[in-house]
Amino acid sequence: MGDQRWGRLAEEREATHPAAALNVYLRLVDSTLQQADRRNYRTAAKQLERAQNAAAAADLSDEFAEHLAALREQHRRRPTLIGILDKAGLR
């Protein structure tokens, strides 16, 4: 199944199964960030915003924050990505 299909599935399941949607969004972010590209960074930021919403709905905000911190550390040498995450309020 392609990333677009997984994304649609996560969106459909987010309201009823936010924890499952969160896991899908985080996997999509990892997949999206495999290739360094500004478009991919913007896509990843949108996926992270969805993941943040799903985490809040599933009462998993602390786990999301930990994952986001680890992701920012992992990609600290990608200033464009970090800037996009900052602009999106993903700190």
* Phi-psi map region of 2: left, alpha, beta (phi>0 left; psi -120 to 50 alpha): beta
**Distance between CA 12 and CA 83 in Å, rounded?**
29
Q: Please state the domain count of the chain.
A: 1
**Distance between CA 45 and CA 14 in Å, rounded?**
17
Q: Could you give the count of Cα atoms lying within 13 Å of 74 in the half-sphere of its Cβ?
A: 10
32 three-class SS: helix
Domain ranges, residue 37: 3-87
Q: What is the pLDDT of residues 19-78, one digit of tens each?
A: 999 999 999 999 999 999 999 999 999 999 999 999 999 999 999 999 999 999 999 999
